[in-house]
């Protein structure tokens, strides 16, 4: 893989991890201060899961499984 592509993927990975961490903190704050907005909470958790999937996908592109 080209260096510029790797750099782009690493930058995307960093941004996704930061957003994932920020969402985690927002979810914790929302859960700790009742009453909860259940719809917002579900949307944040769904977005966080989507980010986790994207992070995993990019990690596999950067460092493919040796056995594959």
Q: pLDDT, tens digit, for every residue of 7-47? A: 999 999 999 999 999 999 999 999 998 888 999 999 999 99
**Distance in angstroms (rounded) separating the CA atoms of residues 13 and 63:** 12
CB proximity list for 28: less than 8 A, separation 6 or greater = none
pLDDT score at 7: 94
- The domains of the chain are located at 3-60
pTM above 0.75, yes or no: yes
């Amino acid at each position: 893989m080209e260096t510029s592509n790797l750099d782009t993927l690493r930058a995307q990975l960093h941004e996704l991890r930061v957003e994932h961490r920020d969402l985690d903190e927002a979810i914790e704050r929302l859960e700790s201060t009742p009453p909860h907005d259940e719809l917002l909470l579900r949307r944040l958790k769904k977005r966080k899961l989507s980010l986790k999937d994207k992070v995993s996908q990019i990690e596999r592109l950067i460092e493919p499984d040796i056995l594959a």
